[in-house]
């Protein structure tokens, strides 16, 4: 008659009896299952974050639309306020010229910023890598001597 053993004792006995090949196979199976589960978890997490980002982007879009409506209303108010001092057409022309000047300044500033950003090469990182290579070569040559 067999003696009763706890589950841990039976598992320990099986591990002792298992060959190295079986243990490596188990490790491989567990590792690949764990990797698949981690990928599934990452997909689920990214899906949820993507959904939230999409909602936020939609809200930004709505804010932009209403911001344009507010600008239109502000433009109308500025024209009407100027129309009390000058003709209505002249008031609209003045407001349009002011908006044109603002657009011109923003365009020139933007062009300058884009010119500073090109070419899109990470210059500091490139210099850092070059410096690391020089350092490694220097130390490798010093080690040979």
Q: What is the pLDDT of residues 70-91, one digit of tens each?
A: 999 999 999 999 999 999 999 9
Region at 81 (left for phi over 0; alpha for psi -120 to 50; beta for the rest): alpha
Check pLDDT > 50 for residue 124. yes
Residue 87, φ and ψ in degrees, nearest 5: -65, 155
Q: Which domain holds residue 47?
A: 18-120
Band of the pLDDT at 98, cuts 50, 70, 90?
very high
For 79, the token pair is 């024209």
Q: What is residue 1's predicted lDDT score, i.e. its pLDDT?
A: 47
Asked whether residue 112 is assigned to any structural domain, the reply reads: yes
10-37, pLDDT tens digit by residue? Answer: 555 555 577 888 888 988 899 999 999 9
How many independent structural domains does the chain possess? 1
Asked if the structure places residue 50 within a domain, the reply is yes
pLDDT, mean of residues 40-52: 88
Average of pLDDT values for 90-101? Answer: 96
Average pLDDT estimate for 135-144: 75
**Residue ranges with strand state E in 1-129:** none
> Is residue 28 situated within a structural domain?
yes
Q: Residue 80: which residues within 8 A CB-CB, separation 6 or more? A: 91
- Could you give the CA distance from residue 120 to residue 118 in angstroms, rounded to a whole number? 5
Residue 100 placed within a domain? yes
How far apart CA 141 and CA 135 sit, in angstroms, is: 10
According to DSSP, residue 85 is labeled: T
Residue 37 resides in a domain: yes
127, two tokens: 């210099």
The answer to whether residue 87 sits within a structural domain is yes
Does residue 110 lie in a domain region? yes
This model's pTM is above 0.75:
no
Give the per-residue pLDDT at 76: 97
| Residue 129 resides in a domain | no
């Amino acid at each position: 008659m067999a003696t009763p053993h706890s589950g841990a004792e039976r598992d320990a006995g099986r591990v002792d009896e298992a060959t190295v090949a079986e243990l490596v196979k188990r490790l491989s199976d567990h590792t690949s299952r764990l990797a698949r589960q981690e990928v599934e978890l990452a997909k689920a997490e990214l899906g949820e974050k993507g959904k939230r980002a999409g909602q936020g982007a939609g809200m930004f879009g709505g804010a932009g639309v209403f911001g344009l409506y507010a600008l239109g209303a502000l433009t109308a108010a500025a024209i009407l306020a100027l129309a009390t001092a000058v003709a209505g057409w002249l008031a609209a022309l003045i407001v349009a010229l002011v908006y044109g000047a603002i657009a011109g300044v923003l365009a020139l500033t933007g062009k300058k910023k884009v010119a500073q950003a090109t070419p899109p090469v990470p210059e500091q990182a490139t210099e850092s890598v070059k410096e690391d290579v020089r350092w490694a070569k220097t130390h490798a040559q010093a080690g040979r001597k």
